[in-house]
Amino acid sequence: MASNLDVALIRRSVENITFGIYTDDEVRSRSVVEVTTPAAYDYLGTACPRGLYDPYLGPIHEREGSCPTCGNTYFHCPGHAGHVELCVPVYQPLSFSRLLDFLRMKCLNCHDFRMPRQKAKIYAAKFHLLDCGMIKRALEFDAEIFCAKRESIEGSQRLVDLYDKETATVSADGKKNKISKKEEETLTTGAVDKFLNRVLNTPIPKGGVNWTSHERATFRELKKEFQAYCTRLLRCGNCGASSPKIRHEASNKIFQQSLNPKNAAWNESNNIKIDPACYSEKKKKRKK
């Protein structure tokens, strides 16, 4: 009997769960009433229509009877959501601190992270290795980068030596020809890019990886390190611009401060112009 029951049951397993924030339209579609009245009760103690205790939101006392939305009584009504139409856009309070962090990490001229792109790609590879469950490799990744750079330089130097040997050429001072610093930088950049692309193409295990507490702590430390690297740079590592500081007031206002004279002069000397925060695209078009 039990075996037949087991066969008849449909068994499923949850592979992943995604959390998100409702959009404006989703909030409106789930709302049963738009709250427009600031008062909760009138002079007679009755809940005001379209107020915070509108009957459509659910009964709050036993004597109120059944809910006009679902028809259940006070004991069985789950309660229903309402919404308030805001006259101006506001910041999402749950993600405000993260938004502030991103604004302080980005360049306000090229709108990229302030750290050099290849450095950001290295961090992306470390995060990817954590997603793949390769925590040991992620922690030792800087050593792998160093080895990739050294191998590219040594390999290129061997080619130069072989060419000199075959052609019997030497430098003007009688010494062996060596790769210049600029050539070394070009070679290492290309070698590291190829290496990073191979790492980033590593497939993530199906269903993801269940992180241990150690792996979660490593992720937090890596994220903190990435953020600190971006915010401590005075100038962007990609375009060289000096970005103004960002400050906030509570969780509802963000201000872009003016550049100090030194940084403003630097931007001007490099033909970099950072528009104020309130400078919109419409104003640009009007000027043109």
- 38 and 145 in a common domain: no
Is there a contact between 208 and 132 (Cβ–Cβ < 8 Å)? no
Indicate if 67 and 134 belong to the same structural domain.
no
Tokens of 190: 């290309």
Interval 133-192: pLDDT, tens? 888 888 888 888 888 777 776 655 554 444 444 444 444 444 555 555 565 566 667 777
Query: Domain check: are 211 and 124 in the same one?
Result: yes
252 belongs to a structural domain: no
Does the pTM surpass 0.85? The reply is no
CA–CA gap between residue 50 and residue 253 (Å, rounded): 29
Q: What is the pLDDT of residues 39-98, one digit of tens each?
A: 888 888 888 899 989 989 998 888 888 899 998 988 899 999 999 998 888 888 888 888
Q: What angle, rounded to 10 degrees, do the helices at 117-131 and 181-200 form? A: 30
Among 195, 212, 232, give the residue marking a domain's end: 232
Distance of alpha carbon 60 from alpha carbon 72, whole angstroms: 12
Measured in whole angstroms, the distance separating CA 197 from the mean position of its chain's CA atoms is 20
For residue 46, give its domain range.
24-85
How many domains are contained in the chain? Answer: 2
How far is residue 266's CA from residue 244's CA, in Å, rounded to a whole number? 12
Write down the residue that tokens 């500081």 correspond to: 245
